[in-house]
Amino acid sequence: MPFNKILRALGLPAMLVTVAGCFSEAERLLPEQLTADKVMLILRGVADSDNPRGQLDDWSALEYARRAGFRGEVLEVAGNTSGDSAQVRMAVERIRHDETITAIYGFSGGGYNARLIWQELSAAERDRIRKVVVIGSPGVDNTHFVGSYDVIVKPDPPEGHMAGPKALLESLDPESPQGQPIE
Instruction: Give the per-residue pLDDT at 79.
Output: 85
Point out the residues of the chain with pLDDT beneath 50: 7, 12, 14-34, 183
Per residue in 130-163, pLDDT (tens digit) is 999 999 999 999 999 998 889 999 999 999 999 9
Task: Determine the 3-state secondary structure of 150 from DSSP.
Answer: coil
Instruction: Indicate whether this model's pTM tops 0.85.
Output: no
Instruction: Give the per-residue pLDDT at 54.
Output: 87
Q: At what angle do helices 86-97 and 109-120 cross, to 10 degrees?
A: 50
Task: Report how far residue 50's alpha carbon sits from residue 21's, in angstroms, rounded to the nearest whole number.
Answer: 48
Q: In the CATH scheme, what is the code of domain 37-170?
A: 3.40.50.1820
Instruction: Give the per-residue pLDDT at 111.
Output: 95
Task: Determine the 3-state secondary structure of 126 from DSSP.
Answer: helix
Give percent helix, percent strand, percent coil of the chain, each to the nearest 5.
50, 15, 35
Instruction: Give the per-residue pLDDT at 10.
Output: 54
Instruction: Give the per-residue pLDDT at 86.
Output: 93
Q: Count the Cβ atoms, other than its own, within 10 Å of residue 45.
A: 30
Instruction: Give the per-residue pLDDT at 113.
Output: 95
Task: Report how far residue 152's alpha carbon sits from residue 132's, in angstroms, rounded to the nearest whole number.
Answer: 6
Instruction: Give the per-residue pLDDT at 31.
Output: 45
Q: Count the Cβ atoms, other than its own, within 10 Å of residue 111.
A: 28
